[in-house]
């Protein structure tokens, strides 16, 4: 995979006290591992030691955040089949509009959120977002009208919008480029797992009934409360940057900082991400990069089936004629297939250092799955199609995000490019949220053709 780094930052010719860490190579870099292997800081044993520490102290929190993010945005699909539509009288396309409203603020905050991530300290900023949308998600259980649902979904999207791009940028502060994709896969596999875990949880929570609140509100109450608690805990444990990682010894912190500076190929005169200052030059550099444009478009095409699958899987399975509880439980196996597919594909992609072929394979599997869903009248075949969709499309997302992140540096270029990629990709939500309209779920084909 070609990595084309820029080094034309304003003032980059000025000598700084950090120049002693500047392992500049003016030659074109074809492979990010070239710099890593040529750097005098390269020490496989030390790298492995640092990565183990980061994997242990950072990845579990990011995994939990992404798991809860997907649960809290998609649990409306579980609530739908448990009575939300009837109780709030969501006739026509009102439910689809409620889904789409979430993505309006979600899209708008992607780039700004990434740019302020460092200013507000990533180790506090990400947990703050988590806690904020957890509070909103909890109060969704109190919604009594269509207008209230729209407002809740809007503020949920506002709080969640900065998370995905923030996590990608945050990981790039700790891991070298050739180490990134596997870590992206390790947290992103929480997305399909959320469908499995969310289905199991919803099947139990929907059985709770109290005066005034029957079934579906408890999906929001309990899942939102879990998110708030997790966000509060993460606030006290996530480091902001390697220099703030208290679980490392002082020498290891210094080594972690030095290796990240070397990995950036000295595109910044700043010694560490802590020292780097914002400049609009970085924004322009990211937005005019062909990698940003192309990989943003690819991500847009990938996100469309991911969102439609995540939001409407319970509804699709419900058309097979199963009870509500069985439907919730039947969402688990295909999502588990997606979970394992993400881990396997990301590991193989890092092992062989290729992205494109694995993405093509995933798209082919997804296409087969949708053909099975649309062309067959047999519920068993259609259900089998959901496995192909999950196993095919979910791995493509971390592949394309890791691909762009590998090709952008330093911090503010990566922050802008990653945020822009996610912003463009999430515009696909306005397609995905209208791929299944309830008025179309009539025999002989319960699934609409435009899905």
pLDDT tens digits, 121-134? 999 999 999 999 99
Q: Taking the CB of residue 274, how many other CB atoms lie within 10 A of it? A: 15
Question: Which distant-in-sequence residues (6+ apart) come within 8 Å of 81 by Cβ?
Answer: 314, 315, 318, 324, 327, 328
What is the residue extent of each domain of the chain?
Answer: 41-440
Q: Is the pTM of this model over 0.75?
A: yes
Token pair for 101: 């409203």
Instruction: Give Cα separations from 90 to 58, 85, 286 (angstroms).
Output: 41, 5, 42
List the one residue out of 127, 433, 142, 108 whose CA is nearest residue 303.
433
Q: Which residues of the chain have pLDDT under 50?
A: 1-40, 266-271, 440-446, 449-451
Question: Which distant-in-sequence residues (6+ apart) come within 8 Å of 414 by Cβ?
Answer: 168, 169, 172, 286, 405, 408
316/233 Cα distance (integer angstroms): 36
SS3 (DSSP) at 326: helix
H helix runs in 92-145, sequence order: 94-101, 103-108, 110-116, 122-139
Residues 51 and 43 sit within 8 Å (Cβ to Cβ): no
49/51 Cα distance (integer angstroms): 6
SS3 (DSSP) at 402: helix
SS3 (DSSP) at 265: coil
Q: pLDDT value at position 326?
A: 84
- Which CATH code fits 41-440? 1.20.1250.20
Residue 286: its H or E element? helix 280-287
Q: pLDDT value at position 41?
A: 52
């Amino acid at each position: 995979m070609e990595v084309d780094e820029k080094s034309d930052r304003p003032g980059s010719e000025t000598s700084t006290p950090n120049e002693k860490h500047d392992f500049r190579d003016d030659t074109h870099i074809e492979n990010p591992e070239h710099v890593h292997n040529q750097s005098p800081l390269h020490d496989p044993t030390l790298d492995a030691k640092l990565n183990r520490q980061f994997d242990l102290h950072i990845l579990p929190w990011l995994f939990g955040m992404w798991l809860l993010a997907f649960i809290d945005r998609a649990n409306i699909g579980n609530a739908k089949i448990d009575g939300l539509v009837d109780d709030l009288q969501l006739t026509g396309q009102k439910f689809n509009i409620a889904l789409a409203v979430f993505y309006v603020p979600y899209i708008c905050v992607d780039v700004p959120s990434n740019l302020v991530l460092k200013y507000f300290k990533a180790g506090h900023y990400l947990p703050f977002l988590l806690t904020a949308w957890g509070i909103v998600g909890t109060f969704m259980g109190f919604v009594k009208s269509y207008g209230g649902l729209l407002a809740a979904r809007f503020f949920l999207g506002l709080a969640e919008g900065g998370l995905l791009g923030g996590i990608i940028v945050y990981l790039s502060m700790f891991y070298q480029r050739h180490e990134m994709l596997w870590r992206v896969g390790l947290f992103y596999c929480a997305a399909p797992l959320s469908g499995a875990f969310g289905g199991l949880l919803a099947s139990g929570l929907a059985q709770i009934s109290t005066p005034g609140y029957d079934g579906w509100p408890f999906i929001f109450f309990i899942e939102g409360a879990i998110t708030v608690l997790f966000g509060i805990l993460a606030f006290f444990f996530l480091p902001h940057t390697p220099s703030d990682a208290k679980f490392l010894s002082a020498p290891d912190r210094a080594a972690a900082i030095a290796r990240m500076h070397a990995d950036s190929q000295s595109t910044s005169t700043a010694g560490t991400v802590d020292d780097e200052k914002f400049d609009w030059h970085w924004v322009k550099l990211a937005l005019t990069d062909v990698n940003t444009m192309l990989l943003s478009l690819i991500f847009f095409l990938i996100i469309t089936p991911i969102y439609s699958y995540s939001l409407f899987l319970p509804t699709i399975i419900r058309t097979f004629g199963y009870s509500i509880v069985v439907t919730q439980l039947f969402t688990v196996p295909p999502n588990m297939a997606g979970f394992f597919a993400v881990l396997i594909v990301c590991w193989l992609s890092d092992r062989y250092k290729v992205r494109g072929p694995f993405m093509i394979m995933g798209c082919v599997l997804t296409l087969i799955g949708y053909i099975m869903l649309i062309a067959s009248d047999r519920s068993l075949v259609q259900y089998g199609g959901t496995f192909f969709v999950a196993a095919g499309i979910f791995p493509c997302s971390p592949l394309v995000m890791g691909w762009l992140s590998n090709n952008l540096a330093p911090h503010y270029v990566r922050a802008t490019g990653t945020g822009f990629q996610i912003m463009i990709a999430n515009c696909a939500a306005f397609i995905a949220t209208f791929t299944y309209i309830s008025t179309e779920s009539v025999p002989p084909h319960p699934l609409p053709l435009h899905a």
